[in-house]
Amino acid sequence: MKTILKSLVVGILLFFISTIANAQMHTWMEGDKVRILVCCSEPDILIKTARLTLEGTSESTIESSEVWEKALKDGDCWAFPYRVPVTLHELIDIYPGLHPNFHWVRGELWKVELMIKGSTGDFESTGQFVYVGLYDKPYSEYLHNKKKQEIKI
């Protein structure tokens, strides 16, 4: 009886540990390294564009685009010609249903630290923090894998 009880307890513990590990594999976590194409010096622009996008009207979509274009023009946000490595530092906010076509995809606002290639060739932290919007990890991985398949010759 004790052996069966021990086996049951161990089985339940392993189930919970694997469930937690699986959930973390599908969630952006502080310390994760990602590559970005756009960022902002402050989170305000990203918050405003996310809220406008969530309104879902044609007017709010146009206004969101105008806010973004102005931020790029004014230098509050930047678009890079190549993907820049960053380390996720702090999750600021979550926006459920942010993707216009896939309502199950959520957006996440993160404070991140920019990285630069060091003298050894490894990426090192710069101490410079910016803000980025990311889609949730499963959708981001889907887009990444889809892009890799499109590039194959």
List, for residues 96-124, the tens digit of each pLDDT value: 988 877 777 889 999 999 998 877 878 88
**84 touches 114 (CB < 8 A):** yes
Q: How confident is the model at residue 67 (pLDDT cuts 50, 70, 90)?
A: very high
H helix intervals, the chain: 2-25, 44-55, 58-74, 137-151
**Sole residue written with tokens 């564009």:** 49
Supply 72's token pair. 């790029």
Tell me the β-bridge partners of 87: 33, 113
For residues 23 and 83, give the distance between their C-alpha atoms in angstroms, rounded to a whole number.
26
Neighbours of 137 (CB within 10 A): 17
The radius of gyration of the chain's CA atoms, rounded to the nearest angstrom, is 20
Q: Which residues contact 53 (CB under 8 A, 6 or more apart)?
A: 60, 61, 64, 95, 98, 100
pTM of structure = 0.72
Tens of pLDDT, residue by residue over 34-50, are 999 999 999 999 999 99
More confident residue, 125 or 93: 93
Cα–Cα separations (whole angstroms), residue 57 to 68, 72, 79, 90, 125: 17, 23, 26, 30, 40
Domain spans of the chain?
Answer: 1-29, 31-151
